[in-house]
Amino acid sequence: MKPNERFFSFEEDFRDPYARDRDRVLHCSSFRRLEYKTQVFLNHEGDYFRTRLTHSLEVSQIARTLSRMLALNETLAEVIALSHDLGHTPFGHVGGDELDKLLKADGRSLGFEHNFQSFRVLTKLEKRYKDFDGLNLTFATLEGVLKHSYPYKKPFLEGLDQRFDLEKHPSLEAMVVDHADEIAYTSHDIDDGIKYGLITFNDLLEDELCLRVDEVVQKEGVKRDEKLYRHRFVAGLIKLLVEDFIENSKEGAKMYRQDIPICTALDAQEKLPVGFSKETATQLKKLKKLLLKKLYKHEKIARKMYAGKKCIQGLYSAFNDDRDLLPPHQKELFDLRNKQRVIADYIAAMTDRYAMKTYHEIYGFTL
C-alpha cells in the first residue's frame, strides 16, 4: 500500500463508506476462498460442517444484531466481521501456527499471525487498483480488523503506521465483532462436534453454562433424547450469550456517539466498555476449556490437523528449495519482497483442498 492516504478518503458513491467496504470485501478472491478453508473439521469431511466462510457469515449476523441493539454502526460491524478471518491459512489454526514456526526458523522474526495477515490481505495482497495495493478501505474498517482481538500490542505489529495507535481501543463495533466471534465459534463447534459424534451432551451438561441452556430448552418441552434437542440447544446458547452481552453493554455503549465509530479517547489499559457479565464470562471461559479438552484435542481432529501441519511443512520446504514450483506471479514478487514471506503468503491463501492437491503433485502421494 502506497502512502497516498487513499484508504482514508471517502469517494463519491451512492453507498455509505462502510457499505462500500463490505461490498469490496464480498467481491474479493480471499473472501471466496474461505468456502474451502477449515474451521475445525476439514472441508472434505462432509457438506454439513462449518467452514471459514460460514463462520464469517455467522459472526457477521451476530455482530449486526449486537450493534443494532446497542445503537452502533451495524454496517461497520458487518464488514469487520466478514473480513476478520481473511488471513487464515488452510487447516485452521494449526496451519498458521506452523507457518509461524517456519518463518521464525528462517530468521523472519515477525513470523505469521492470522489477524495481521487479514490486515495485509486488505491493504497489500489483494490487488484491485493500478496505482496502489489493497482494497482501498476506510480507516475504521482496517483498524477494526487489525485490533478486533485484545490485547493489541503484539511483537509483529512493531513499526506499524502510527495512525493505528495500539495504545488506544478500536471502535466499539470492533469489540462487538470480537465477542460475536466467540459466540459463533463456541456454539457452532458444539453443533458440529455433536453432529460428528466427537462430544456428547453428557460431556457438556457437566458445565454450568450448558446447564443454564439446558434448563431453557427443557422448558420448551424438548427432551434431551429428541433429535431436535441439538438445534434448540445451540440456538439457546446463542440467545443466552447475545442477551447477556446486550444487557451488560448498554451503559458502556451509551458513552459514545453513534456517528463516531473510533474510541479515540479510550486508552487500551482501560476496561472494555462492552462485554459479557462477570458470571457469564467466567462460565464461558470454563466451557471453552471443556471444549479444548473434549473436542479440539480429540484424536480424530488431532490426526487431521497433524496431516495439515505436514502438508504446510512440505509445501514450504519445496517452494524454498525450487522456486520453479511456484506460479510466475509469485516468482516475480521475489524481486519486491522477502522470499520466505512471499512463500508464506502464497501458502496462506490456499484452500485446504488446493494445498493437498499441490502437495500430491509435488511429492506424488496423498496425506
Q: What are phi and psi of 38, to 5 degrees?
A: -65, 140
pLDDT attached to residue 50: 84
Q: What are phi and psi of 290, to 5 degrees?
A: -65, -45
Q: Is residue 349 part of a domain?
A: no
> Does residue 11 register a pLDDT over 80?
no
Report the C-alpha gap between 346 and 120 in whole angstroms.
13
Q: Which structural domain, as residue segments, surrounds residue 60?
A: 6-301
Specify the CATH number for the domain of residue 156: 1.10.3210.10
> Does residue 265 register a pLDDT over 60?
no
pLDDT attached to residue 260: 52
Q: Is residue 32 part of a domain?
A: yes
> Does residue 69 register a pLDDT over 70?
yes
Comparing CA positions, the residue from 103, 105, 98, 112 lying closest to residue 310 is: 98
Q: What percent of the chain has pLDDT over 70?
A: 89
Mean pLDDT, all residues of the chain: 88
Q: What integer is the mean pLDDT of 127-135?
A: 90
Report the C-alpha gap between 323 and 328 in whole angstroms.
9
Least confident of 44-48, 199-203, 282-286: 44-48
- Cβ-in-10-Å burial (0-12, 13-18, 19+) of 154 comes to middle
Q: Is residue 332 part of a domain?
A: no
Least confident of 98-107, 268-277, 281-290: 268-277
pLDDT attached to residue 262: 45
pLDDT attached to residue 166: 81
Least confident of 44-48, 77-81, 171-175, 194-198: 44-48
How many CB atoms within 10 Å of residue 264? 10
Q: What integer is the mean pLDDT of 39-66?
A: 83
> Does residue 237 register a pLDDT over 70?
yes
The strand pairing partners of 127, in sequence order, are: 134
Cβ–Cβ under 8 Å, residues 40 and 192: yes
pLDDT attached to residue 258: 46
Q: Is residue 328 part of a domain?
A: no
The number of helices, as runs of H, and strands, as runs of E, in the chain is: 16, 0
Comparing CA positions, the residue from 174, 148, 200, 183 lying closest to residue 284 is: 183
> Does residue 367 register a pLDDT over 80?
no
> Does residue 263 register a pLDDT over 70?
no
Q: Is residue 103 part of a domain?
A: yes
Q: What are phi and psi of 168, to 5 degrees?
A: -120, 150
Report the C-alpha gap between 207 and 222 in whole angstroms.
19
pLDDT attached to residue 259: 47
Q: What integer is the mean pLDDT of 106-132?
A: 89
Report the C-alpha gap between 81 and 74 in whole angstroms.
11
Cβ–Cβ under 8 Å, residues 26 and 155: no
> Does residue 39 register a pLDDT over 60?
yes
Q: Is residue 83 part of a domain?
A: yes
Q: Is residue 327 part of a domain?
A: no
Q: Number of folded domains in the chain?
A: 1
pLDDT attached to residue 255: 74
Q: What percent of the chain has pLDDT over 90?
A: 67
Q: Give 113-149 as a DSSP string.
A: -HHHHHHHIIIIISB--SSSSB----HHHHHHHHTSS
Q: What integer is the mean pLDDT of 61-79?
A: 96
Give Cα separations from 311 to 45, 120, 231, 295, 321 (angstroms): 17, 23, 35, 22, 15
Report the C-alpha gap between 143 and 165 in whole angstroms.
9
Report the C-alpha gap between 272 and 234 in whole angstroms.
27
Cell of 280: 457469564
Q: Is residue 158 part of a domain?
A: yes
How many CB atoms within 10 Å of residue 219? 9
pLDDT attached to residue 13: 67
Reported as a pLDDT band with limits 50, 70 and 90, residue 47 is low
